[in-house]
Every structure is written in C-alpha cells, then in structure tokens.
Chain A
C-alpha cells in the first residue's frame, strides 16, 4: 500500500485514460481528479463516454469482453488495474447505483444484508441487523419500510427501490459511491428526495454522478466535468461551468445550442 497519500484531497484520479470497445475508441486521454467528500458530476451528450468513464472507476468494464482500458486510474494513490488488486475488494470500496433501480428479487432486508454478508462484515445476526438498519436509515428509507422488511424489494415504488439500491450500496461502507443517472427513471419528488440524500451522504462518502440533467448537476455537485465524443472538454467548479464556461463546446451544450 505504498504511494498512499493520506493527506491528499484527491480520492480517485484518472490519468490519460483510453478505453477501447474492440477497435472503436470510446475515451481519449481523459485526465480527471475526483475530490474527497465532494460530489463530482459528469455531463455530456449521449455517447460521449461519461458512463464509460464511470464504469472504469469500479472496473465494471471488466465484465465486457471486448472492452480494454489503458492509462492509469488510482484510488488513494494506488492503480486499481494493478495485478494484485482484488476486483471484489475494489467493488466493496467503490459502490455503484444504476440507472434503473435493480433491487434483488429478495426481501428488503436481504437486499441490504447481501453485501455485508458476502464480505464477512458481520459476525452475528445482531451485527448484521445493525448494519442493515443503519444503511436503511442513512438512505432515508427506514421509516417507510420498517414494518415490512420481509416484503420483496420489488414491491416498492420506483423512488423507494432506488433508495433501496442506495442503501444496498452503502451497506458495504464504500469510500466512493458511483451513480449512473440514478434519477432518470424517477418522478420529480423522488428525484428531489434522492438529491437531498446525496447532499447528506456527501459528509461521509465521495460521490461521482453521471447525469443527463444539467439542472441536476448544477443543483447537486460541487465539481462538474463535461465530456464530448470521448474527450474531457472542460472541468471545474460547478458554479463556474454553468455561469461562465470557458470552452465554447461546453457553453453550447449547457445552453442547448447546436454545435
């Protein structure tokens, strides 16, 4: 665990990241820092590579055979693509919430308990119960489901399901939470609840969120990175990007102008 820079505010860093799907290149030399305890949002038009970059951060791209990742991505200073990095351990440290809520077809309790169980985080049922309770409370879901923890996870509404997925992701006490368009399938109220949740979670976690909604990125993040056609065009403080972007491409995108 050398090169671990404890005092740095940078949690994850991508250096010159190239991603290929077979012969097609999806990301071109991306350099991006993710700050600790901040929400970083990745914005850009469809197919610009923001989801691809996000999935590199917890090596979900490994599941796609033809995907190749070049360059360096470090977590606390250590390259996550090193040979001696256990991808299972990585994914316990870097959690993910997906676009469409995908709770396991199990009970609510089981959904949240699964991660801690397989990572051996609890030695007894009481400890497991505590972890589940805490995660559900943190995700703001506990009050709504405390009487029916044995009901199926799929019996909840869309917004509740997404919060369940968030609870599930944070149950393994990850350091970073990756969110891939988490609200795109939800109504505005549920979206607002989750945005509030993101704000609260920021205290303990580092969050990276991919979003199609610039308004959401503007509301929720402190740092914004704009991707276009596989390149990182501009990154900076959210306020700056949305009031006074430097790059014309960025400006055109956020103002809704054609090319």
Chain B
C-alpha cells in the first residue's frame, strides 16, 4: 500500500509524499488514498439513459426508434444465420453487434457486467470463440477477456519491425464459422506473445448517450469554454488542446482520443474495426487475406430498393446501417442525473473546487439544430472535449490525429453513475475500487525526468496534467471524498 500526504505538479511544487509502490510500473508513481471513501458502485433503479432526446417530434421519435432497431441488429458473415440477419462480419472482429457491447445501462451505453448494473449480462466477447463455429474449429478467448470484465479491443503498439502500429487487431476471425468461406484460415493474432512483449493496449466502448448534442456544438463554443478556464488550469499545471481534422482544421471530438470528426465517421470506423463490416465511410476490408473476403464491398451500403422491392421507403429502410447508427446516436438523449442529496450536492461543489471541473466541464450549449427542440440546448457532459497529457500511467503510446501517446480526450462523465468500468482500457472496475481507482489513475509522475524536463523522448509527459487535482482529492477528508464519489454516481 502507498501513502501520500501531499502531491503537487512537478513544475510548481515538490513532491512531499512517501511512496511504497506495490504494483505501479517502476517509472510511474501514482497517488493513492488511504482513506475509507468507497465507490458506491453503479447506481440502481431505472436506466437514466437510452431514450430519445426530449422535445423531438413524433416523426423524429419514430425515426430514432427505427434506427435503434438497426443498432441492435446482429451481424453474421453471410446474413443467413437466424437472429444474425445483417451481413459482413469479419474477416476479423471484436463483436457481432453494436448493442451487445454498448449495453449498460441501456442500448447505446458501455460494457455490461453479469451481476452489476441494469443489464446484468456476461461480457458478450466471451461467447464469440464458440458462436456459430463448426465443431472442432472453435477459437480461443484471449486472456484479457473475462466474463465479468470489460468489453475490450486490442491494439498493438509496434509492428514486428519496430515501427509504430497503433491499429486494432481483431480478437476473433471468421475462420471456422459455419457461415464463413472454407478458404478462410486466418488465425487469431498471437495475443499471448504480444502481451509478453508488453505490446498490447486496450480500449473499451465509449457510451454514446447525448452525442448528438456534442456533435451539434460549435468549435467556437468549445474554444470559448476551454479559454474560460485557461488561467485556473495554468495555476494547476493543466494544459489542454483540441484534436483537429487535418483537412478542414475543425475540432474532432469522438473517441477516446477525440480522433473522429462526426458520428457518421465514428459509426463507420467502429463498424469496420469492431465488426469487420466495410461500409461507405470505411470502404475496404481491414485484414488482408484473399481467402476470407466473402462479400462484395462495401458490405454495408445505401439501399436502392427497400426490402419490399420498392424504390422508396423510410430513411432507415433506404439508408446504410452506418447512417442509421449515426442517427440513433444523434438522437439519443444524454443520461439524466439524480443529484439531489446533501452529500451529492457537496460533492458537486468540491468537484469544482479541487479543479476536476476545469477539464470535466459541466456545461455546454448546442448550436441551432435541424431537429425539433434541439437548438440552444444547455447540456452537461462534464467534458471539455480537449486532449490532455496524462503521463506514463495512462499512456497507451498510440497516436491518433493530433493526439499523442499519452493524450486523451477528457472523458465525459455524464452517465458515469451507472457505468461499471472506467478509463480507456477498463482498468478500473468493481474488483479494484471502481471510480476511486479511476481518479487515482489520473495521477502519474515519472521520477526519471530531470529538472525542467516536460516530456520524455517518446513524447510522454513527465507529469500528468491531473496531478495537482488528484492530490487535492487525496487531501480531502474521507467524508468529502465520499461526497465526490456519491456525486459522480448521481450523474
């Protein structure tokens, strides 16, 4: 166990604490609280999310509901397997449907858990090694996928030749599935070997609630919001910059590193990367192996004819799945908070007082919208959608757009009250302290850095931008810490 009395950012304060590291990497020093505050766990009761945005017209709600059905469809290779009527799965994949992973606390959310939360189901990835397989051709479930663990994708940091990789490597392949071509013999990646070489990082699904509001927020609003906290952030050693699109220079805002520009791109990328379905946004199959490409591409596309053979139909009938996924997310309401108790309200106050809200910005406002009642909506994402250096403790060494190896978008905290797993790789969960662990993982100090050294040669910050704030959290009394945790669980 490690104890700490006070911690400041490297540039401004000297570390005053004594660390007795147990499991932290040698170069990484993390803050740790000895207090007794505990994450109360996912909030019970009804799911505070999953429905359409408030104020939509009846037609728009119907549009949302049709798109939600598509979001819940299950994909097989050929589209013939009963209950798996979408086609295009593989050659490699992490999941066979959006809603199986974006599940908790409702369709559109994040990883489910078998005993916690509203959904209570095992990690769906545990089933894919055997699902629809020819007997004897089952695959292996990688060691980092557990029935009660988070849904994960795996990325390799480097290629065998030492160059940067960073791409997603599908956990499973279609080889041996009953509906796959017999010519497909593509093996699963050697995850055990890559893990041995510390070459694997993970990402868990981000919840998609309220993202239509985020999409409809102007760059100007985001920049003004970030600028409004500049002085306070500077005083706590917090930076912040936006990831931007290389073509038009506008702010990208979706994904763990804010690497995706729009919900359509986000949906298209996920459909291709997670399920192996090529689509109109990401047109090529990912894993080159001629004997495994079974379908003409793009596998998901706009429909010239409706299922009834007509040249006309509803938007959802005629659109590609990818467009429907984006529409579903676009109209999906943000999670509803339940902050009302004295403890939660005090937690809310402290959340701002110690500096959490400098990045986890409570309030933003949307631009005029094409959808009924969605113009000028004030919403509470608890994110500035900017990138921050989190240091070596959270660094995943993956570059995406302008985001470097240790930079992450401030994770929106709306809905965190009913989430089970936290941080980009799901390392914080019910087995190790949940939110408390997540907060402390924000702290990182590289003691090998020299005086006045800000970054190591691999582009990772010597200190996490969150260090001072985490220290402030750890210097709070048990009751105040508990109030912050209670507040977070009310979101």
Tell me, yes or no, whether A binds B. no
